[in-house]
Structure 1
């Protein structure tokens, strides 16, 4: 049976548990396509999974895989599949499983779409997960209107950098909260105002019509900074205080006018197609902090955990450096 390179872990732990190993090349089932992966990115949820902080979901069987989004090329199409063709450049996001940090993936056509034409597959790999999350959070769950005040917490990260750009495209007045040293960066993305989270807390800012929270902390304090009728979208919560944090989020979806929406994205073909259109139309650009080969995925996890990220850490899976 042919094998391929893939990122693996044999136990939960720090980034060093990750290594490049070999696993069988997947055989696509009827109705699936085989994608030759070019690149993937490192997302916050993968850090939690690797560390064992969500083991009720990831389980205790090893070796385990990592990686949720990807860019690549369709290598095989099974009978009955309509749309994708061999040779198409695509991007996508897996469902509730991990494993995109590998040379090949077998996926349903609904999980992929044509990749943007105006950027490389390496650059595009920074966007599928964060981009679809940001697009869904702002448009479907918060709906900022032209002229409304939008605060993006964690504005320099993978989702935050997308939210700043999309907020501006929707006509909002964007305030970015980011780490020191990244304020000029978020202004370049389109933020009207930028503040360091080390100098400004909830009591120092506001009110806002919409708060996009990618940090997952102090939800109660930030909710108080909402204007009457304001909306707060939280895409994460503090795993170290998850009971209290999640409890507040659930209660706030029911009580009060200033509500918090918490959601977990599940992007499909139509959303990925819309995201590609935003890139090709110039409303959204990928932001790549670093590009590393698959063998250095542990270093990419370590870099994301260290903070100070600007956009996404991308893992180049393809052996060549084209596209």
Structure 2
């Protein structure tokens, strides 16, 4: 089968298409024929070597975390998806491997994908589990609160804008100038050009969702009393240190987490899509042979939603 892999850490060009044996399906696992995968920031960090201390040492390494596809064989004696079911799910973020024609996964890492949604487009949405966890569980966003989403046109930001509106918040989106109309269409009440707007020009917020990882003190300063800031990305070790200090000093803490979604969270995401609260935003669909271009495009920024890799 075809997979995307790399033999050393480095720039996007280290990625290439290879042929490897089909996965060996262990007892209790499900074999899925992958239709689409999205490109996430965590994969860029793994490929570049920034997460090398958490990843297995052996090469070649594969890439890809989330996926959408069709069940080929189901786990015997285990409740869950059956052959022919349309599903989406996620692999281990430090091992990866979803950018492949077939993957073997545990049923608890899967959920039926939304009815009627094209599976390649569906691959843009599993990152929504991160947005749900950030806004509902960590920020505990309430109706009527003021939410700022940094990176509001990106893969997670575009979903967070829609979720914030669904949760009843007043949503402000910060994005590049060319993407402001998109962010407004997704439900933001106010939109600002990230390059032409200083943090102090934005006002005060109850919740800040940060997908950029930079200038954390400036954006933490926008929090109202009792405000919460949730980060899903950091641009430096200094940013990590700042988050740790914020848990000790002051009441406006910066929270950070690394998502590990299970069946229940994916099922909730499916329900939100089927209810019309969320829709996928796809920047570009790439072929597997062009996966390095997909990584390069995400690194260069200015993305509108997700870069998706088609596997069928």
Same fold? TM cut 0.5: yes
Question: Once the 2 structures are TM-superposed, how far is the Cα of residue 59 of structure 1 from its aligned partner?
Answer: 4.3
Report SS of the residue matched to 1:8.
strand
Equivalences for residues 54-203 of structure 1 within 5 A? 54-96=51-93, 97-128=95-126, 130-203=127-200
The separation in 2 between residues aligned to 1:26 and 1:95, in whole angstroms, is 15
Question: Once the 2 structures are TM-superposed, how far is the Cα of residue 57 of structure 1 from its aligned partner?
Answer: 1.7
Question: Once the 2 structures are TM-superposed, how far is the Cα of residue 143 of structure 1 from its aligned partner?
Answer: 1.6
Alignment RMSD: 1.0
Report SS of the residue matched to 2:196.
coil
Q: Which ranges of 4 or more aligned residues in structure 1 deviate by more than 6 Å?
A: none
TM-score by length of 1: 0.94
Check whether the contact 1:30–1:80 (CA below 8 A) recurs between aligned residues. no
1:321 corresponds in structure 2 to: none
Equivalences for residues 1-323 of structure 1 within 5 A? 4-96=1-93, 97-128=95-126, 130-238=127-235, 241-242=236-237, 244-318=238-312
The separation in 2 between residues aligned to 1:59 and 1:197, in whole angstroms, is 37
Question: Once the 2 structures are TM-superposed, how far is the Cα of residue 251 of structure 1 from its aligned partner?
Answer: 2.0
Q: 1:229-271 CA distances to partner (integer Å, 9 max, x unpaired)?
A: 0000101111xx21x2111112212332211111000000000
Report SS of the residue matched to 1:46.
helix
The separation in 2 between residues aligned to 1:11 and 1:83, in whole angstroms, is 37
Report SS of the residue matched to 1:70.
strand
The separation in 2 between residues aligned to 1:260 and 1:118, in whole angstroms, is 38
Q: 1:279-308 CA distances to partner (integer Å, 9 max, x unpaired)?
A: 011000010011111111011111111111
Q: Which runs of 5+ in 2 are unaligned?
A: none
The separation in 1 between residues aligned to 2:37 and 2:260, in whole angstroms, is 17
Question: Once the 2 structures are TM-superposed, how far is the Cα of residue 198 of structure 1 from its aligned partner?
Answer: 0.5
Q: Which runs of 5+ in 1 are unaligned?
A: 319-323
The separation in 1 between residues aligned to 2:228 and 2:139, in whole angstroms, is 6
Question: Once the 2 structures are TM-superposed, how far is the Cα of residue 311 of structure 1 from its aligned partner?
Answer: 0.3
The count of residues paired between Structure 1 and Structure 2 equals 311
TM-score by length of 2: 0.97
Report SS of the residue matched to 2:17.
strand
